[in-house]
Amino acid sequence: MSTLGIVSRNRETNEMRGSISLLGRRNPIGIEIVPNPAKRSETQPDFRIYSGANELGAAWVKVSRETGKPYISLRIFHPQIAQWPIYANLGRAAGQDDDDVLAVIVNEAA
């Protein structure tokens, strides 16, 4: 599994802020994952992903079939980042005991 970056969750607002690093880019990209107040149906995302004023993608709360626990699935896409969407999940960052520090982990093709 590849880790693109780390985000920290604010428990009061459920917003997450951090950065991701991509090959071919000199500097990490700051990101914010914020709740989607406009969600009106199950198919709409639970979160929107931004870098400054640019929307980079969306995220959905899903439930693991194996553990039954909820997790957040991300879809990041912007033509200046990559030609194809990047699919990732948020999970506990390696070496972290803090449940509010999460790694952006790429879903690698099987």
pLDDT tens per residue, range 59-96 = 999 999 999 999 999 999 987 777 789 999 999 888 88
Q: How far apart are CA 73 and CA 80, in angstroms?
A: 21
* Of 54, 94, 55, residue with least CA distance to 75: 55
pTM of the full predicted structure? 0.89
Burial group, residue 80, by CB count within 10 angstroms (0-12, 13-18, 19+): exposed
Burial group, residue 13, by CB count within 10 angstroms (0-12, 13-18, 19+): exposed
pLDDT, residue 93, reads 82
DSSP, res 66: T
